[in-house]
Amino acid sequence: MKLFGPLYERVLAWSRHPHAERYLGAMSFAESSFFPIPVDVMLAPMCLADRDHWVRYAMIATVFSVLGGLAGYAIGYGMFEAIEPWLRESHYWDAYETSRRWFDEYGVLVVFVAGFSPIPYKGLVRAGGQRFESTLSQHIERVGWAVVVVAGILIAWLMMRGQ
């Protein structure tokens, strides 16, 4: 199932668009809550193409990422009150309580893993240049699914340790 390749190619196309800064802001906002492709995939080519504006691009990504995180928190906070009665009556309440205890215990690790995976793209692009970017595009499906598998294994391991 090809999931990461098409998203990766679309984001790269956005980085070359005349309205790339707007797309960068929108993607940074979305990536903070639900978009699976890291903003680095768009930010790195923009910075390489116009090195004089790297601070501007990084600032756009940072500001909109923070705003997206705040929006995601607000949505989650509001949605929980709306679904809590259903959740308590369903067979999911025990799983919710388990996941909450797990996050309370391992929350910092979860945030750390989410914030630093996959490997920061812009650092690797700087080291490998255009050759790295073209190689990554050939292997993006394997890299994307490998990150999903590793994250799943890490989550399962932490849950088994916590019981």
Regarding pTM above 0.85, the answer is: no
CA distances from 73 to 7, 9, 15, 106, 146 (A): 24, 29, 27, 19, 28
Residue 133 falls in which region: left (phi positive, over 0), alpha (psi -120 to 50) or beta: alpha
- pLDDT per position as a tens digit, 112-127: 665 555 445 556 555 6
**Residue numbers of the chain with a pLDDT score lower than 50:** 118-119
Q: How many CB atoms lie within 10 A of CB 132?
A: 15
- Separation between Cα atoms, residue 59 and residue 25, nearest integer Å: 9
Q: For tokens 């699976």, what's the residue?
A: 36
